[in-house]
Structure 1
């Protein structure tokens, strides 16, 4: 475990007008994440050590929290209501900020793309303090660098908002001459129209599959704690590889005599990873046996977040502080997603493109029936593959004045079974690549690595892939 040297409560800076007690009600978009595990990230910075660095991080955090004061408050049940929740801030509230040291593994051992034991990384991310805390931070001194752990309650805000806070904090810490400050967050929950029906559905305890199903007692959410043998690894899809995926899918569409699906780097990246993930699970044997027993019609599911800021009526500002994302539902026959070569890639990418089109066309009406779709997906024989993060967050641009991070991991994927996505930080083929983080037990990781390598080899040899 990391040895915590000091923990302090960092309050928003008192500069200017004093902050008074305030409450910010949760919208139905926040309530969607009320029962979700917190998001845990760790940023690795090389050679960022010394008392001055740690002191500056603490002081600049206070400055950043001035604009993001709701995150210094607490999540609570609104007084006098049975199921209405709010972010409540009062003077004296603050964010727990721990200073720790860790000698069980060195910087180079942890800040790597190679499979690493999750147990070695978990001590670098702090738990949320009891009592409804929304944000917790930990700066851990390593041999050769610094790890900055960030834990956020998802009901408080989405990834767009949390990374907005991080960039604001980094700007305050770096104090770069001539560089404009990030825009202020927009703190106004009245911008989102109320949906009482969805709010009530999302705040209710997560449902389970119908009684009698052989579900092993699993709830309709992911893993609650990582397996002791769990590994975390990062895989990079370069710009060139993403283009090869798009080309292979387009050729397969032409061969089938159908219009090519939407062609973007996100569709290509998600399709490739989903294809590899399903292939790896089927290679494990259990999925194949279950699929055979169901007549070969077992479906595979993928869920990834879609930003609705520009799609709501009225649209919500880009810098809105809160949640404004919803699930994008994807499904296809598992055997077809796992099929070798361009066939499997086409099935995966076409299904993803279709689901994006549904979101784009749906507008505000997209939310009608969303709870039924959630229950359907999580009641399936196998939990869906879910996605955390986005290359749009630009997490590798979070520079506190001592250089960009060498590595950024979303550690909470070990708890949820999700895959994380971000812009590629190395080996990205000149930029434009995507990196994917995944956590699996050792045997599952080896199967996934093999499927990933085989699919890459297929794309590098068009004759083999087509």
Structure 2
């Protein structure tokens, strides 16, 4: 007898409206038909799930919500005029077997959904650091429509607030481009001066040695990079390192290097944060592995300024490479100075190798191999960056109360952003099952307490 099917839980959102928002015309004409071929930087992400962000905003009691929603649509159309490829779709280039492109034609647009959170949920119930069920937050980011769409947006009304959700296909652009688009949209919404327009020219990424062919044959499958299989039962929480705590990590690492007679690693604020979180994360795991077993941290590095010739900051597309390095599990998990030194040394080495390697096509060609090697051994990945300034995305009703990368619930990555207090800290979003989250909270707090001794 077949087992009885469990009833699906009721949806937490009511969809009020779905609109296709096209780029605004200039001089009465829509942006021209165009095809942006994927580069080797882009094709790496072809099969991966979209990056999903949610921005929570508090609204005044007398806020005119219909006017806000109308303005969001109008300003979205204006922002898409400069970023019109994001209104297009990803497709196999006609007449080819393995060439892909982002294709836009007049009439294309971005799906903009307006929804309402059921059960009278207050924005401050969700825009908090404490663990929350991911199923309460994930629906605030829209799914990408079928047919190759690369961007979808959603505004969800809730009590005393609004959530703006975004889903973007990583093969179309990296985080620097997608967040620059958000800043452009926000500026159009308020009438402020926005960032410089994007540079839409894929010929800026040179590929004289045929790296595209290497990458398109070896690109990871969704299964290889989708690290979490049962994300629905996970929690999402945020952990913040203050500027002072980050400096303390740097001091501890330098002191431990001196004690060991080793050269101290280049310990930037990002290295210190990654190292601190990676050591805590490993300490929460009970894998039964021996100390000789390696585990990897894998994170993106922006190469725009390092390309020859350099690629403009405003380049629309992907220009990030992979940085990764291993550390022995038992040494990484050690409490105190030992674990921090091992972690930060490995993170700094990953950055040094990535920066040196971008000038070597042979090294770049090994990215896929290194990702697979890390995946087999065990890895933790990173999404986001403090440089994206997500807490400055103001649509006219204030800075975000909270920003989440909800897709980390699927990928298992840590989500990184600048601290929203504006005092130089860095915040990290973590998604784990309930037991793992409790363990991580204890490890994190113990490590923070140790820093303050």
Q: Please, what TM-score do these two structures have when normalized by structure 1? A: 0.91
1:130 aligns with 2:143: no
Query: Structure 1 pair 7/156, CA: closer, same or farther in 2 (3 Å)?
Result: same
Could you tell me which residue of structure 1 aligns to residue 436 of structure 2? 444
3-state SS, counterpart of residue 310 of structure 1: helix
After superposition, residues 129-148 of structure 1 pair within 5 angstroms as 129-148=145-164
Q: 1:207: Cα distance to partner? A: 5.6
Question: Which consecutive aligned stretches of 4+ in structure 1 deviate over 3 angstroms post-superposition?
Answer: 195-198, 204-208, 223-226
Q: How many residues align?
A: 435
Alignment map for 1:131-210 (pairs within 5 Å): 131-176=147-192, 180-194=193-207, 197-204=210-217
SS in 1 for 2:396: coil
Please report how far the alpha carbon of residue 197 of structure 1 lies from its aligned counterpart in structure 2 after TM superposition: 4.5
Whole-Å Cα distance in 2 between the matches of residues 158 and 228 of structure 1?
26
SS in 1 for 2:270: helix
After superposition, where does 1:87-98 map in structure 2 within 5 Å? 87-98=102-113
Query: 2:90–2:102: 8 Å Cα contact kept in structure 1?
Result: yes
- Deviation string for 1:342-387 (max 9, x for gaps)? 000000001111111112223321414222212211122x3x1000
Give the SS at the match of 1:4. strand
Match of 1:33, SS? coil
Cα deviation digits, residues 269-318 of structure 1 (max 9, x gap): 0000000000011xxx3x1x2x14xxx31111100110000111111000
Output the CA distance in 1 between the equivalents of 2:150 and 2:298. 24
Counterpart residue number, 1:32: 44
Contact 1:44 1:407 (C-alpha < 8 Å) held by counterparts: yes
- List aligned pairs for 1:31-430, cutoff 5 A: 31-47=43-59, 49=63, 50-104=65-119, 105-176=121-192, 180-194=193-207, 197-204=210-217, 219-223=223-227, 226-281=230-285, 285=286, 287=287, 289=288, 291-292=289-290, 296-365=291-360, 366-380=363-377, 382=378, 384-426=379-421
| CA RMSD of superposed structures (Å) | 1.6
The C-alpha deviation readout for 1:232-269, integer Å capped at 9, x for no partner, is 00000000000000010011011111121102100100
Structure 2 residue aligned with 1:211: none
1:13 partnered with 2:21: no
For structure 1, the 5+ residue unaligned runs are 209-217, 462-466
Name the SS for the 2:415 alignment partner. Answer: strand
- 2:85/2:102 contact within 8 Å kept: yes
1:202: Cα distance to partner?
Answer: 3.1
Tell me, yes or no, if the aligned pair for 1:28 and 1:195 is still in contact at 8 Å: no
